[in-house]
Amino acid sequence: MVKKEGKIGQKITELRFSGVFDYEKLYLAMYNWLRSHYYEVSETYKHKMVATGAEIELTFKGERKESEFYKYLLDVETHFWDMVDTEVVADGKKQKLNKARFTIVIKMTVVLDYQSQFDKSGFLVRLFNWLRFTIMKERILVLWAGKLCSEAYKLDTKIKEELGMYTAYNAYS
């Protein structure tokens, strides 16, 4: 018998922004939020210069093991276009900020049996499928995925606060 895939996940939010912001503060806010919520963070970074400014792709992949049976993955994918440095006068002081267009996509995944404990025999594979689709279905979808979804929205709110957006709130805060 074939083991069904033990992943439940989806894209939670996609944020689009165009304007002036502090790239360093935004970067640190995302990274520190993941670290403060006990995620092991790995990142990838791509930078390319074009005629209109820099194009940057930055991805944070957060992983947190909740138990021996499941873990959380929270991915933050950013893509910046036409990024240039600019000086802005705020509160009578000159500040070096950045101007760009960008998108931030937050994705969540609950991974079941990440240690492959149920792959050892046909009986264990059937047991895993039975647990996943009958006994633990509500716990997986409501408790575990719901908690991770709530955390993803809190990260989205933190990003919006750093950007100074008026919609910097959500129902999960």
Residue pair 39/74 in contact by the 8 Å Cβ criterion: yes
pLDDT tens track for 87-138: 988 778 899 999 999 999 999 999 988 887 788 888 888 887 788 778 777 7
Predicted pLDDT at 4: 63
Full-model pTM: 0.88
Residue pair 18/12 in contact by the 8 Å Cβ criterion: no
Predicted pLDDT at 171: 67
Indicate whether 30 pLDDT > 90: yes
pLDDT tens track for 153-168: 999 999 999 998 877 6
Indicate the Cα dihedral angle 128, 133, 139, 142, nearest 10°.
140
Tell me the C-alpha to C-alpha distance, in Å, between residue 56 and each of 45, 59, 166. Answer: 7, 10, 25
**Residue 46 backbone phi and psi in degrees, to 5:** -130, 135
Q: What share of the chain has pLDDT > 70, as a percent?
A: 94
pLDDT tier for residue 173 given thresholds of 50, 70 and 90: low
Domains of the chain, by residue range, sit at 7-163
Predicted pLDDT at 103: 97
DSSP 3-state assignment of 66? coil
Distance CA 39, CA 105 (A): 18
pLDDT tier for residue 2 given thresholds of 50, 70 and 90: low
Predicted pLDDT at 56: 97
pLDDT tens track for 46-57: 999 999 999 999
